[in-house]
Amino acid sequence: MITMNDLHLSSDDRSSIQSHLDEFAKRLTSIIILVVILTIVWSISIDEILHYVLLQLDPCSESCINIFSPDEWAGTRWLSASLLGLFTAAPFAMVQAYTFARPGLLPSERRAFVSWMVIMWALALCSLVFTVIKFLPWLYAYGHSFNDETGLVGRYDAAEMLQISISIAWAIILVLAAMSVVVIAGMSKLLWSGNAGWWRLRIHGFMLMLLWLVIPDGLPGLLFTLTFFASGLVEIAGYRAFRASIPIGHGLMDLLDIEGGRFRVLYVDCSCHGTAPRVSPLKGMGYVSYESVCRSSEQQDMLLDTVKRFGADKLVFSGCVIESLPVDYIDSLRFLGCKTESLDLAHLSVVRTDGSMIDCELAMACIHGPWSEESVNKRCTDILSKSNCETVYFGDNIPFGLNLQANEAWITNPSLSLIATIEELGIEMNRLSN
């Protein structure tokens, strides 16, 4: 469900929350069923797998691992089988997660989400192998060496060793997942200092919640240590991203108005299927090019993504008029704090037959805010002084059937000061209306 105060994409619909919950439940159920089936499959060979793992973890020259609690060992066997089932079901779960989340994600967010899932699955596999083959054997051997120094004889519970190993391996995977989120979000220009608090709250929150769930109750020291190191590693991985300035792209520059306010203006060069001519944007404006924003939901989402990622405060469309864009889309831009304006070049290109671009150039030169009125006047007079224009027509809207001659031009809704400045050039100003 969407409201007028939300950011919504072209793929959003008016479905109720219950319908989304039903879809989520169906997808989650399919994943659980697959995990259960794979758990049963893995349970057939889990004893051989655990035997190999325990041989790797055994710190003694002669085996010193025993089973002190058969019921606890049985529970550990099924836990290990279910974790392997969950790991092997991960590709299917990733497809389901992406399919469910895709309609609500912007294009850059979709790419980042897919990249994170694929990279995280590969990292999980590598970290699991490294943890079992290298890290945990070294850790248990190091701990066992203290027994040799004190003359104690080590006897270790197989179930407890596996539980601790699972907790440590799970903690490593969670930390890698959190670190990879920060790195990928930073590289995708989704994370910067302006929204770092939002990212920190969710990344640390989910990571620590899942860490605390898997750490055994009887190991408070491990809980504290993992919490401290996990949070620290995430902060180290995101040190630059958390402190980065607002991303820059598509030639966007920070522009100052007369009051010192900072603005970013993006010129949307929409050709409207070849009906709108191309004019050069003003200095400092960003630039993006599309075929037809008003008719393509995909291009609308791409533009919305650009506005959100790079903090555009104002969009200037070349051909598309604002009224041709969906109302929900304008609401989304307004939600992001972005204003919209159109040069209406598709209409201006048909008001004359001599091929002159002076009307389109004047439309670009008349853009006001964050530029001052004086700069607007100067740009327009520079264009007119280099032309042979003798008459400039103006009005609130382009009159139907307007046909300009070679020595005539049109300006939409000029300011009084611009009218006076043009008249000082000796050019006649005539108001037209429908």
Evaluate whether residue 41 is within a structural domain: yes
The whole-number average pLDDT for the span 92-118 is 92
Residue 2: predicted pLDDT:
39
- Res. 94: pLDDT tops 90: yes
With cut-offs at 50, 70 and 90, classify the pLDDT of residue 29: very high
> Which of 242, 273, 298 is a domain's end point?
242
Evaluate whether residue 8 is within a structural domain: no
pLDDT higher at 303 or 74: 303
Residue 307: predicted pLDDT:
93
Residues 338, 373, single domain; the answer is no
Residues 230, 314, single domain; the answer is no
Average pLDDT, the chain: 86
Weakest-pLDDT range from 19-28, 166-175, 303-312:
166-175
Residue 218: predicted pLDDT:
64
Residue 429: predicted pLDDT:
92
Residues 342, 361, single domain; the answer is no
Query: Among 136, 227, 109, 122, which residue's Cα sits nearest to residue 177?
Result: 122
Residues 190, 304, single domain; the answer is no
DSSP state of 323: G
* Contacts of residue 249, Cβ cutoff 8 Å, sequence gap at least 6: 189, 286, 306, 309, 310
The whole-number average pLDDT for the span 429-433 is 87
pTM of the complete model: 0.80
Is residue 286 within 8 Å of residue 265, measured between CB atoms?
Answer: yes
Number of domains, the chain: 3
- Cα distance between residue 221 and residue 335, in whole Å: 46
Domain region containing 293: 248-346
Judged by phi (left if over 0) then psi (alpha if -120 to 50, else beta), residue 215 lies in: beta
For 85, other C-beta atoms within 10 Å of its C-beta total: 20
> Which of 346, 378, 397 is a domain's end point?
346
Residue 71: predicted pLDDT:
76
Written as six digits, the tokens of 292 are 């037809």
Evaluate whether residue 55 is within a structural domain: yes
Is residue 8 within 8 Å of residue 328, measured between CB atoms?
Answer: yes
Residues 126, 86, single domain; the answer is yes
Is residue 98 within 8 Å of residue 55, measured between CB atoms?
Answer: no
Q: Is 392 helix (H, G, I), strand (E, B) or coil?
A: strand
Residue 313: predicted pLDDT:
92
Predicted confidence (pLDDT) per residue in 188-240, tens digit: 989 998 889 999 999 999 888 888 877 766 666 777 887 888 889 999 999 99
Residue 13: predicted pLDDT:
63
Residue 362: predicted pLDDT:
93
Evaluate whether residue 3 is within a structural domain: no
Residue 130: predicted pLDDT:
87
> Which of 331, 346, 361 is a domain's end point?
346
Evaluate whether residue 288 is within a structural domain: yes
Residue 1: predicted pLDDT:
37
The whole-number average pLDDT for the span 18-46 is 91
The whole-number average pLDDT for the span 302-330 is 89
With cut-offs at 50, 70 and 90, classify the pLDDT of residue 3: very low
